[in-house]
Amino acid sequence: MEKIRITLKTLFGAEEVLKDELIELGFPEVTLLNRAVQIEGTWKDVYFLNLHVRCAISVIVEIASFRISDEQDLYKKAKKIDWTQYFTSDKTFAVKGAVFSTLFSHTQYPYFLIKDAIADTFREKEGERPDVNVKKPQVMFDIYIKENQVNLSLNTSGLPLYMRGYRQEAGIAPLNEVLAAILIRMSGWDRKSTFIDPFCGSGTLLIEAAFLAANIPSCIERQHFAFKNFKNFDENLWDEIQSNATRVCKEFDFDIFGSDIDSEMVLMTKRNIRPLPIARAIKLSVNSFEELNADEINSEEEKNSEGKFKGSTPTLISNPPYGERMGDEINEMYQGLGDWFKKDLKGFSCWIISSNLEAFKSVGLNPSRRIKLFNGDLECSFRQYKIFEGSRKEHVMSKLK
Ligand SMILES: C[S@@+](CC[C@H](N)C(=O)[O-])C[C@H]1O[C@@H](n2cnc3c(N)ncnc32)[C@H](O)[C@@H]1O
Q: 75 near 116, Cβ under 8 Å?
A: yes
3-class DSSP state of 262: coil
| pLDDT at residue number 305 | 47
Cβ of residue 246 lying under 6 Å from some atom of ligand 1: no
Rounded Cα gap, residues 343 and 230, in angstroms: 56
| pLDDT at residue number 392 | 52
Cβ of residue 148 lying under 6 Å from some atom of ligand 1: no
Q: 270 near 198, Cβ under 8 Å?
A: no
Cβ of residue 198 lying under 6 Å from some atom of ligand 1: yes
Cβ of residue 258 lying under 6 Å from some atom of ligand 1: no
The residues of the chain that CATH labels 3.40.50.150 are: 177-218+247-400
| pLDDT at residue number 326 | 74
Rounded Cα gap, residues 16 and 185, in angstroms: 10
Beta bridge partners of 132: 93
CATH 3.40.50.10860 for the 4-155 domain, yes or no: no
Class of residue 302 by CB neighbours under 10 A (exposed 0-12, middle 13-18, buried 19+):
middle
Rounded Cα gap, residues 399 and 401, in angstroms: 6
| pLDDT at residue number 250 | 85
Q: 194 near 298, Cβ under 8 Å?
A: yes
Give the atom of ligand 1 at the shortest distance from the alpha carbon of 175. 8
Q: What is the CA radius of gyration of the chain?
A: 24
Cβ of residue 319 lying under 6 Å from some atom of ligand 1: yes
Question: Could you tell me which CATH class the domain 177-218+247-400 is placed in?
Answer: alpha beta
| pLDDT at residue number 105 | 86
| pLDDT at residue number 314 | 92
Strand order in the sheet with 36-41: 31-33, 36-41, 4-9, 58-67, 149-155, 139-146, 93-100
| pLDDT at residue number 166 | 86
The residues of the chain that CATH labels 3.30.2130.30 are: 4-155
| pLDDT at residue number 306 | 53
- Which residue's CA is the closest to the ligand 1 atom numbered 17? 261
Cβ of residue 202 lying under 6 Å from some atom of ligand 1: yes
pLDDT less than 50: residues of the chain: 305, 395-401
Beta bridge partners of 283: 257
Measured in Å, residue 302 CA sits from the centre of ligand 1 at 26
Cβ of residue 142 lying under 6 Å from some atom of ligand 1: no
- Which residue's CA is the closest to the ligand 1 atom numbered 3? 201
Class of residue 364 by CB neighbours under 10 A (exposed 0-12, middle 13-18, buried 19+):
middle
Q: How far is CA 75 from CA 20, 57, 70, in A?
A: 38, 28, 10
Can you spell out the DSSP letters for 267-280?
HHHHHHHTTSTTGG
| pLDDT at residue number 318 | 98
